[in-house]
Structure 1
Amino acid sequence: MELSRRGLFGGVVAGAALTALPVRANADPPVAGCATRIDWERFLGEQDLVWQRIPRAWYEGPFLGNGFLASAVYREPGANAIRFTVDHAEVQDHRPQFGNEWGVARLPVGRVLLTPRGKIAGVDLRLDLWHAELRGKIVTDVGELAVRAFVHAEKSLLHLEVRPTSGEKDFGLEFLALDAVSPRVIREPPPATLPPNPKPVTRTENGLTFVTQEMVAGGQTATAFRIRKLRGRTELLLSVDHSYPDRTAETAVRDAVTRAPVPEVLRYQHRRWWQRFYRKSFVSVPDALMQSFYWIQLYKLASGARREAPIMPTTGPWLEPTPWPSVWFNLNAQLEYWPVLASNHLELDPIPRTISQHRQILVDALRPEFRADSMGLRRSTDPTFQDAGFVGSPLHPSPDPEIGNLPWLLHNAWLSYRHTMDERILRDTVFPVLRRSTNYYLHFLRRGNDGKLHLLPTYSPEYGVAPDCNYDLALLRWSCRTLIDSAKILRIDDPLAPKWQEVLDQLVEYPADAGGFMIGAGVPFAKSHRHYSHMLAVYPLHEVNWEQPERRDLIERSLKHWLSFEGSLRGFTFTGAASIAAQMTRGDEALRYLREFVARFAQPNTMYFEAGPVIETPLSAAKSLQDMLIQSWGGLIRIFPAVPPVWRDVTIHDTRTEGAFLISAVRREGRTRFVRVHSEAGQPCRIRTGIEGPLRVRGCSKWRVQDGVVELELERGQEALIHAKGERDFTIAPVRITEPARRWGLPALPPGGSAVPVDISAALDNDGLSNEFTSRDGDFDGLGNTYPAAQLPQTGSVTDDGILFEFHNGDEASKNNVIANGQTLAVPAGKYVKLHLLAAADTGNVDANGAVSYAGGSVPVRFRVTAWQQRPQFGESEPVATTLMHTPSGPVQKQVSIFHQTIELDAAQQLAAVILPKTGGPRLHVFAITLEKPKA
């Protein structure tokens, strides 16, 4: 129920609650000459995710969070239950001597299991973005369970409400604690020398249950929860806290649960925060797929990030089995936070604060001989930069001297300064830390016979080592230029300034060949590579950019050459390519790359994986969309620089740019109609509006137009409205959708349900896939060989000849196929004309008898499927084929396939089950089964 105004006056929290009653949807304050007409609840409701099928994994289901406490919702694998994961961003180990994979890894907390009395038959769920709440129902064969859940926006509280129908009144609800062991265990066992953390201890006091996890390193994790049954509903209220080195977590969760206000007030507080959050900026494009994707990423960011929270690890706050249980700084952390800038949500960015608070760790990360004047950042650490070992050094034996992570992270902090013009960020964080990280580079510069300064061999993530590595040359140039500019702003006469200028004047040019940017001197770009480390000068640093005519050919050749090597391209390959194309002002190309990312890699809930959850890629896609709509690098704001012509209408509102400007702009019928500029810092404003014809400027008397650029002199807090002569409509509103798309989530099966996928997840017993990071994960054929996961379907399904198969290709070490050994697989009862198999045999073809079970008895059927290394032998189609096969010693050039085989059924009889054949020598591997109904 909603809390009434009368109810508020009667409650003990009335005073606090009345300070912020909900704002009407159309009550946005007016801007200079503009009218905002945004019905926020309706607009965001159109972006909601909807599930009409049961999500099978974290990458399919709803997700909730507040930057600390987080929950993902999906079916409990192999069970008749729904899992609500319980994770917390601060829960980690604290033994850095064992490294980031074990000693400072994120650790699991537990899960809530909702177990119906009847068998789950379906779901109807909606993730309401406007209210940041999951609502809907779980349908069983004896009734329904109506559910509502949210993680409070500002408190460590998960609230779950369940309302059962009479047939489900005896459902189960329980919390299961998990051992505090790194999720890296999916790849390998913990080090023998790592003492395990104690088992969690559970006890109940006065209706409140505590689960306390003591840590070997000191400190503790505590969970407290209360389950109440009230007038036809059951409510769970749960809190998690982690304390280190103190043991105060249990007290914190006790207070959080016992002092929590009534659920109606909790929900009200929660909604108020989220509705204020969304109103800080607005984007609307006529492409329903990309528009909803963008808003889901903002929801995801605010669920996973806060300025005061830890830097997100690769998984975000949702912890699942992963070989990467910590924070990675050679791309991941940087990309995670880029969208906060233009979206005007710097309250979500912890990077400047974290750098400022943990400088000594950045000193200690270097070998002792460098600590007097330098700082560095290891590749992967906990959120405070803590880990074992030292940052790589070209002067010491190292397979990958990766020294660019700190300056690249400082680029994020620099962007935070540029978008706020808050000199405290520059003075207290960026300048002093960048000065030391640049000193680290200076230790490895040498003057060559050509008189130029050259860099000793360093590592280009994730390609290899090269002298004059382009990745580091770009970061060194950016660092020296930024230090010189910062010293001028801060009025610092730094004795190192001449050295920085010398580097800019005498540093060797970027190594390049016919293919564009090389990895470094003598090391061409010559293999498939997902990372754009060799092109960092172009994006995001803009040291080499499209507005330098002499550089355009180099940029174009490099982009084309990079993408010409298939095999290891991944999601962020295409988001990076989209942003580079946007810099090139090619909107159609940028949109094509974004759509390729969505089609090949984006999961049903917009999550993404590479062996495990990797949160940065979808977030970077949101940044790519922002780059298409507005850019502000190099002292110039560009309005709609790369909007594809098919997007004839676009609206942006309060988009933040460098110089601390908030920009609103509207494109209608293919033309930019007006641009509103609000100055927060009184900086000079240069803006390329794209408005055709004579211009008018309101609100600013000091302005001029030069070479198509409007230059404004605005005071702090002043606004200007730029528009074409005669333009009178200055409305900021959502645009009409001209490219419809289905909602994100899991839609119902196709109309009529002619193709019915069979859920075989409980029977999966073999891992036949491995990723590019470890080809030893899995064993398809008994010889250690596997399919390359990167070349198999990434989005949870594959369609062949109009038949939809559900395909498992998720976490490393997860099971993804069934080895046929006489198993009986239950199917949705019904009459079907065909059984469709997605399958392959291993060491030889399989021609074996199984059976199908009808209501009247079992009937033998033949299963005839080709071996994976051959071409079809039994009339199958070949929906999945790769160019590589993974072996225990690495990938080899070899096509391996998965086949689509069809078995005729008796449509006059009710099918109950499929009985797989017993296969021993050559084995039959079943990846998916779909049943086909008779035509209506």
Structure 2
Amino acid sequence: MTPPSHDPTRRAVLGGLGLALVPAAPALAQTEHAGAARGWQLRQRVPWAEFMKGQDLLWGRMPRTWYEGPFLGDGLLGSMVYQEPGQNKVRFTVQHGRVQDHRPQFGSGWGTCRLPVGHVTLDPLGTITAVDWRLSLWDAEVTGTVTTDKGKLSFSAFIHDEVLVARAEADGEEQVRWTFHPEEAVSPRSASEAPPSGYTPNPPWTTATAGDVEQVLQPLTGGGQTATAYRVKDGTLLVTVGHSFPSATEAQESALARIRNAPPYGIMKKRHRDWWHDFYGKSFISLPDQRLQSFYWIQLYKVASASRTGGPVMATSGPWLESTPWPAVWWNLNVQLEYWLIHGSNHLELDSLTSTLDRNRDQLVANVPAAYRADSAGVGRSSDMFCNRSVGTPGTGAEVGDLTWALHNVWLTYRHTMDDKLLRDTVFPLLRRAINYYLHFLAAGPDGRLHLPSTLSPEYPVTPPQDTNYDLALIRWGCRTLIESAERLGIDDPLAAKWREVLATLVDYPADANGFMIGAGTPYAQSHRHYSHLLMIYPLYLVNWDQPEQRELIEKSVAHWQSLTSAHRGYSYTGAASLYAMMGRGDTALSYLDRFFDPASRYPCTANTHYAEAGPVIETPLSAAQSLHDMLCQSWGGIVRVFPAVPASWADVAIHDFRTQGAFLVSAVRKGGRTSFIRVRSLAGAPLRLKHGLDGPVTAVLPDGRPARVKDLGEGVVEITLGRGSEVLVHAGARPDPVIGPVPVSRPGAAWGLPPVPPPGATTPVDLSAYFDNDGVSTHEAMTDGDFDGSGYTYPAEELPPAGALVHEGLSFAFPAYGDGVENNVTGQGQPIAVTPGKYAKVRLLGAASSGVLTSALTATYADGTTAQVPFVLPDWGGQPGAGASEVIRCTHRHGRTGANSLRVGLFEVQAALDPARELRSLTLPALTRPQLHLFALSVEAPR
């Protein structure tokens, strides 16, 4: 296979050097006569406050964990709101993106990890009986009530300028009580693994009082300080966090000053709302699918809550740190996916990735071995916010391409701004060093082609091969971009000849009958969540759908990747959605995106649109928003593509000021399944090549009514002359009224959050003790006792409820006893379970699946001899509850044959409908192997 030929439109990618502007081709309809020119003006009719209210998240029951509750942030300080575990309190976490340890000798998991700060609780006197909360996206504020058996608490909270601002009022309750709880400054990995050898814990925190401000001061063994300052005054709670390094006192001073100098509540609230209202107005997207539309706007809120230019690069959980095996920045996929959303949404003010790489150049150089620091740079798989992580060398199986991939994001920021200063000062010099590191190791083989020694395709679990496709794609992209950047900047770089040589002689991408391989001699043969071996297709677009000779290879590569599903995670589906969007297959793209939202998925989007695997991570929902972008507007290869992969079910769509490569702002409306108009505004004067998707002859008209200069390039692409600051309206047929506003919702959907739980009917626990056939629980002292999943893993007994009566959301269960050698759950072997005869509306299952989400059915046998299938979906014990499931218990880890393991496992309650008109006699479990059912308790519920 030969490498794809150089894309003839690539010059347009860096500003269209050498492209001639030509008059409009005769085939294009220019319906406006110069003597009767009629101008136009794009109008925006978005009732912002009303529209955004329709996207809000709502809670009718108490969230219990970080992936269920409301979240607040300002790019630095973050707070999640949910029930204090096991207590009658509401927790507001207090975490900060700059708070980390400073001991690189212990690695990013312990030595330079993000560190916990603490949390505030709202402590009612009475027992909480109900909640009614709203996360207002428009105002970036959570408001609501907490009802207790003594009265009601009303509260509101927001974060502005690194201050958590909260107010509460009591009605019936005697008082409002806020309590700050400091947390130990130890790696979030500590719940599931022992610290590395030689690790010394950070000193304990101390407290101080300065007038009416309380402080918690946390010194750090590796230097620096974290300081929390808080005050309750006039019914308002203010909390802030400072972090300094290497100074051991600056954090205390800055946090104290921030509280003392905080403006009055009303002023803070106005400034806060003004910022967010301005933020949302920079772009607009409306979809006919309410659930997806709301999801999209929540992701915009989320990324603005987690990142701001000049702040720390987002860690895997953003500013909402929780117990996790990933308390750092991951550079081999997570960080790239986190930031794609900011480009099309016209929010480059959120790009902390570019500013992080720019200000940490010296560290990126120090990360490579000393012999290569004169001209190279890199970053290891995971690091702190200062990019502090060494990178190995090709030939040792190291993962070496992560900086180059991160720089693709920075290049995208350049392409969406056409800011030559960014290209000259940041992209070009850093990319030059990243590619230089590769050049030290490329060597000619017997075939005369340049080859790369063994490197790791991120996380693919085999011996690292030579000529890894992950790295070959990044080398090709990097060399092409360096050549084009040097041409645009007028740089006569002495390495240009070498870059051209690499492009001419670099070995082809290894491929076999199934498509692109992992690397030379290593086929894609086992399920893999990453699509690192497909980077040349997406997001680099080196092999793309505009190359007809590559289409078959693209299709079979993507299909083969998706055919092996056991290791897939949420971003495996969002990645597939974007890949199929590139092919123009909107319905297929949507079908893959829907899998991420499917409660039957092993790792679905959660109630508040967060996401978790073994711990909290935020990249996947943000990448799902980018998949929506890819369906609505693409701009790779120097062509702006409007509505390239819109599903047939989306008859009406609107986008406004969607930012594309070439620094264009695109507004477009689709009505009744057809594009009505496209407005393009040029911010940089780059050549506009537009794939419009309009039916019939195209009209392109300037705002004053004069026709634009247009050239038809064929295949639905036109080239339009458009100067800096100019705009054009493109349409077919009679000129439409160019108005942007919300589109009608054709697919209604419930609000994100947690709906209230209807009061259940009377529940009767079923005695399962005679059926138990599996020991899924072990104690800390005997972790090898039991085997829940066939691999020796078990639930930790110390984190399970005691045996006996267990009440969950008004439902009664009988939780089993557990001890050494005691069987405590029943697996699905086709066995009938006798129940107390009666008429029941539902069966309630308490348990979890192993080896994936279980989609199956019970068989109900009724007194009249009839049977019926009773379908249910049970989450995997390491997964998250989708729709129709609720989490009863979440353990901080699991036990294994070699000790504690970081996977946070849960037990879930799910329901299945019975026929309440017939008397039930028994329920037969399905006969299963993988995934396997594990029932710890079962109850039947009478009709209400």
Q: Same fold (TM over 0.5)?
A: yes
Aligned to 1:451: 448
CA drift of 1:164 comes to: 0.9
- The farther-off stretch of 652-661 and 504-513 is 504-513
Give the distance between the partners of 2:846 and 2:188, measured in 1 at CA. 39
User: CA offsets, 1:571-598, max 9 Å, x none?
Assistant: 0100100000000100001111111011
Matched, 1:275 2:277: yes
Give the distance between the partners of 1:873 and 1:486, measured in 2 at CA. 62
SS at match of 2:318: coil
CA drift of 1:92 comes to: 0.5
Give the distance between the partners of 2:794 and 2:252, measured in 1 at CA. 34
Aligned to 2:712: 705
Give the 5 Å matches for 1:518-667: 518-599=517-598, 600=601, 601-667=604-670
SS at match of 1:459: coil
The residue type equivalent to 2:739 in the other structure is T
Q: In the superposition, relative to structure 1, how do residues 353 and 881 fare at CA in structure 2: closer, same or farther (>3 Å)? A: closer
CA drift of 1:818 comes to: 7.6
1:55 is aligned, of 45, 51, 63, to: 63
Aligned to 1:158: 164
Long gaps (5+) in structure 2: 1-38, 766-773, 827-834, 836-844, 862-869, 879-893, 918-932
Q: In the superposition, relative to structure 1, how do residues 881 and 272 fare at CA in structure 2: closer, same or farther (>3 Å)? A: closer
Give the distance between the partners of 1:312 and 1:84, measured in 2 at CA. 20
SS at match of 1:391: coil
Calculate the aligned-residue CA RMSD, in Å. Answer: 3.7
Q: In the superposition, relative to structure 1, how do residues 118 and 630 fare at CA in structure 2: closer, same or farther (>3 Å)? A: same
The residue type equivalent to 1:209 in the other structure is E
The residue type equivalent to 2:222 in the other structure is A
1:386 is aligned, of 368, 385, 388, to: 388
1:367 is aligned, of 361, 366, 369, to: 369
Q: In the superposition, relative to structure 1, how do residues 324 and 768 fare at CA in structure 2: closer, same or farther (>3 Å)? A: farther
- The farther-off stretch of 187-196 and 593-602 is 187-196
Aligned to 1:805: none
Aligned to 1:934: 943
Identical aligned pairs, as a percentage?
49
1:35 is aligned, of 33, 38, 43, to: 43
Give the distance between the partners of 2:814 and 2:696, measured in 1 at CA. 61
Contact 1:74–1:84 (Cα < 8 Å) also in 2: yes
Aligned to 2:318: 316
The TM-score normalised by the length of structure 1 is 0.82
Give the distance between the partners of 2:526 and 2:218, measured in 1 at CA. 46
Aligned to 1:473: 472
Aligned to 2:426: 429
Q: In the superposition, relative to structure 1, how do residues 701 and 757 fare at CA in structure 2: closer, same or farther (>3 Å)? A: farther
User: CA offsets, 1:261-287, max 9 Å, x none?
Assistant: 111111000000000000000000101
Give the distance between the partners of 2:165 and 2:210, measured in 1 at CA. 20
CA drift of 1:184 comes to: 1.3
Q: In the superposition, relative to structure 1, how do residues 875 and 416 fare at CA in structure 2: closer, same or farther (>3 Å)? A: same
Q: In the superposition, relative to structure 1, how do residues 886 and 587 fare at CA in structure 2: closer, same or farther (>3 Å)? A: farther
Give the distance between the partners of 1:883 and 1:864, measured in 2 at CA. 11
CA drift of 1:186 comes to: 2.0
Contact 1:341–1:416 (Cα < 8 Å) also in 2: yes
The residue type equivalent to 1:118 in the other structure is G
Matched, 1:342 2:344: yes
CA drift of 1:704 comes to: 2.3
- The farther-off stretch of 593-602 and 720-729 is 720-729
User: CA offsets, 1:522-569, max 9 Å, x none?
Assistant: 101111110000101000000111111111111111111111112210
Contact 2:849–2:874 (Cα < 8 Å) also in 1: no
The residue type equivalent to 1:740 in the other structure is P
Contact 1:880–1:897 (Cα < 8 Å) also in 2: no
The residue type equivalent to 1:527 in the other structure is Q
The residue type equivalent to 2:107 in the other structure is G
Give the distance between the partners of 2:596 and 2:350, measured in 1 at CA. 25
SS at match of 2:407: helix
Q: In the superposition, relative to structure 1, how do residues 308 and 779 fare at CA in structure 2: closer, same or farther (>3 Å)? A: farther
User: CA offsets, 1:765-808, max 9 Å, x none?
Assistant: xx9999xxxx999999824654799xxxxxxxxxxxxxxxxxxx
Contact 2:849–2:876 (Cα < 8 Å) also in 1: no
Give the distance between the partners of 1:469 and 1:240, measured in 2 at CA. 44
Contact 2:802–2:815 (Cα < 8 Å) also in 1: no
Give the 5 Å matches for 1:237-256: 237-246=238-247, 247-256=249-258
Aligned to 2:832: none
Q: In the superposition, relative to structure 1, how do residues 636 and 557 fare at CA in structure 2: closer, same or farther (>3 Å)? A: same
CA drift of 1:151 comes to: 0.5
Matched, 1:825 2:798: no
Aligned to 2:29: none
The residue type equivalent to 1:283 in the other structure is I
Contact 1:92–1:104 (Cα < 8 Å) also in 2: yes
Give the distance between the partners of 2:302 and 2:794, measured in 1 at CA. 26
Q: In the superposition, relative to structure 1, how do residues 415 and 826 fare at CA in structure 2: closer, same or farther (>3 Å)? A: closer
Q: In the superposition, relative to structure 1, how do residues 692 and 840 fare at CA in structure 2: closer, same or farther (>3 Å)? A: farther
Q: In the superposition, relative to structure 1, how do residues 827 and 709 fare at CA in structure 2: closer, same or farther (>3 Å)? A: closer
Q: In the superposition, relative to structure 1, how do residues 358 and 625 fare at CA in structure 2: closer, same or farther (>3 Å)? A: same
SS at match of 2:456: strand
Contact 1:844–1:866 (Cα < 8 Å) also in 2: no
User: CA offsets, 1:36-84, max 9 Å, x none?
Assistant: 1000011110000000011010000000000101100000111111100
Give the distance between the partners of 1:692 and 1:475, measured in 2 at CA. 38
Which fold has the larger relative contact order, with Cα–Cα distance below 8 Å and residues 6 or more apart in sequence?
2
Misfit runs of 4+, over 3 Å: 752-758, 767-770, 775-781, 783-789, 812-824, 826-829, 834-847, 863-891, 896-904, 924-931
The residue type equivalent to 1:334 in the other structure is Q
The TM-score normalised by the length of structure 2 is 0.81
Q: In the superposition, relative to structure 1, how do residues 779 and 82 fare at CA in structure 2: closer, same or farther (>3 Å)? A: farther
User: CA offsets, 1:494-549, max 9 Å, x none?
Assistant: 11111111111111111111111110111011111100001010000001111111
1:202 is aligned, of 199, 207, 211, to: 207
Q: In the superposition, relative to structure 1, how do residues 846 and 656 fare at CA in structure 2: closer, same or farther (>3 Å)? A: closer
Give the 5 Å matches for 1:20-419: 33-152=41-160, 155-166=161-172, 168-228=173-233, 230=234, 234-246=235-247, 247-387=249-389, 390-395=390-395, 398=396, 400-419=397-416
The residue type equivalent to 1:243 in the other structure is S
The residue type equivalent to 1:633 in the other structure is W
Q: In the superposition, relative to structure 1, how do residues 673 and 816 fare at CA in structure 2: closer, same or farther (>3 Å)? A: farther
Q: In the superposition, relative to structure 1, how do residues 897 and 521 fare at CA in structure 2: closer, same or farther (>3 Å)? A: farther
Aligned to 1:11: none
- The farther-off stretch of 531-540 and 780-789 is 780-789
Q: In the superposition, relative to structure 1, how do residues 902 and 362 fare at CA in structure 2: closer, same or farther (>3 Å)? A: closer
Give the distance between the partners of 2:55 and 2:154, measured in 1 at CA. 22
The count of aligned residue pairs is 820
Long gaps (5+) in structure 1: 1-30, 759-766, 790-811, 853-862, 908-923
Contact 1:224–1:239 (Cα < 8 Å) also in 2: yes
Give the 5 Å matches for 1:660-809: 660-699=663-702, 701-707=708-714, 708-750=716-758, 753-754=760-761, 782-783=785-786, 785-786=788-789
Matched, 1:485 2:503: no
Q: In the superposition, relative to structure 1, how do residues 529 and 84 fare at CA in structure 2: closer, same or farther (>3 Å)? A: same
The residue type equivalent to 1:410 in the other structure is L
Give the distance between the partners of 1:61 and 1:703, measured in 2 at CA. 52
Give the distance between the partners of 2:775 and 2:505, measured in 1 at CA. 53
Aligned to 1:915: none
Give the distance between the partners of 2:40 and 2:263, measured in 1 at CA. 41
Q: In the superposition, relative to structure 1, how do residues 676 and 835 fare at CA in structure 2: closer, same or farther (>3 Å)? A: same
Aligned to 1:460: 457
Give the distance between the partners of 1:886 and 1:837, measured in 2 at CA. 20
Contact 1:51–1:745 (Cα < 8 Å) also in 2: yes
The residue type equivalent to 2:731 in the other structure is H
Q: In the superposition, relative to structure 1, how do residues 651 and 140 fare at CA in structure 2: closer, same or farther (>3 Å)? A: same
